Homo-oligomer: A and B are copies of this chain.
Amino acid sequence: MSTNEDSPGRFLQRHHHITLCTGEAQEDYDFHTKILGLKSVKKTLLYDGQVPIYHLYYGNDMGDESSLVTTFPMRHTGLKARKGSEQVSRLTLSAPVSAIPFWKERLEGFGFEVRETERFGEPRLDFQHPCGIDYSIVGVTDDIRAPHSTGPVPQDLMIRGTHSIEVSMRDSELMDEFLQLAWGGSESQTDGATTRYAIGQGGSGALVDFVLEPQRKPGSWAHGEGFIHHMAFQIGTHEEQDALKAYLEGMGFIDVSDVKDRGYFDSIYVRTPSGALFEATVTHPKGFASDEAPAQLGQEVMVSPQFEESREELVAQLGVLKD
């Protein structure tokens, strides 16, 4: 099967962000900012539902697309999730190849168990978020994305952003079709049971790896602590996004969501045949600088529209995050 060059999936450019349901908020914040050295670029609240849950964004200095890891820390809800197939199963982050020994020592120094592996000829370090979500840092030679410049990790060793995601699935045929017909993907390589697709511009920050695990029990789709909820891809304009939504509906994917204003970007969501939830999103013109000055990004909590309570009440309820 060849890529469908008529599909508006060709307008997808690269990763935008990846979103995880994690455990305790301060633990999540410390893991991303103090250990991985990412910048807090926005503290807000989950825009869905009526239960206040933080939505924390981590990335580079301005939170550029494909530098972003975002989390819903939900320990206080009591909801637990299950890792498994039919979901995004691993987040891999890009760092310079020369920084791999540094990261191994740094992670082990913080008490993490680190396993050295290799996929597609790239060295990687496998470890877990404190809530159990699978992470890797991958050594990449040609990643020109700008890292967080004022964090605890020197720039020449620092994470550049998301490299790839892994999706665990029990059958590949229908997802291969979906990627090629609808999501602008081109198959680039296979490594054992893993098939790598490049989206849009390709390269680090635009890869999706599908891992065939026919016997793995399906993981959660509903919110709960300890799994990767969805993967977002950048699309350039609202016209391109509308075209993609209409195209997916015409294919029969009529459960594609309405366009949702997430405060800093506008998103549509669709459940893919792999089971993973994908998003296509258009960044607002000012991005994260729309409600905070660039120098102050990610410091105060920005309350999402559905809550009427004061910011102080909500933050008191959820706990103040300490830098």
Chain A residues near B (Cβ < 8 Å): 21, 48-51, 82, 170-171, 173-174, 177-178, 181, 217-218, 220-224, 229-230, 246, 249-258, 260, 269-271, 273, 277
Assess the A254–B273 pair: CB atoms within 8 A: no
Given contacts A48-B249, A170-B170, A223-B251, contact A218 B273 (CB under 8 A): yes
Cβ distance A79 to chain B, nearest Cβ, rounded Å? 9
Given contacts A258-B257, A258-B258, A271-B271, contact A221 B252 (CB under 8 A): yes
Beyond the given A224-B252, A255-B257, please list 14 additional residue pairs across the A-B interface where CB-CB is below 8 A: A21-B252, A48-B249, A82-B174, A171-B218, A173-B217, A174-B218, A181-B222, A221-B252, A222-B251, A223-B252, A229-B252, A254-B260, A255-B269, A257-B258
Chain B hits for A254, CB < 8 A: 48, 230, 257, 260, 269, 277
Residue from the set A217, A252, A256, A260 with the largest chain B CB neighbour count within 10 Å: A252
Copies of this chain present in the complex amount to 2
* 18 chain-A/chain-B pairs, Cβ below 8 angstroms: A48-B249, A48-B250, A48-B254, A50-B250, A51-B250, A82-B174, A173-B217, A177-B222, A221-B252, A221-B253, A223-B252, A230-B254, A254-B269, A255-B269, A255-B270, A255-B271, A258-B258, A271-B271
List the 10 shortest-distance A-B pairs measured between CB atoms, nearest first.
A49-B250, A258-B258, A223-B252, A271-B271, A255-B269, A48-B249, A222-B252, A222-B251, A255-B271, A254-B269
Cβ distance A52 to chain B, nearest Cβ, rounded Å? 12
Residue from the set A21, A82, A221, A256 with the largest chain B CB neighbour count within 10 Å: A221
Chain B hits for A250, CB < 8 A: 48-51
Cβ distance A15 to chain B, nearest Cβ, rounded Å? 18
Cβ distance A300 to chain B, nearest Cβ, rounded Å? 25
Cβ distance A220 to chain B, nearest Cβ, rounded Å? 7
Closest-by-CB residue of B relative to A216 is: B171
What's the Cα separation between A249 and B260 when bound, in Å?
A: 11
What's the Cα separation between A181 and B222 when bound, in Å?
A: 11
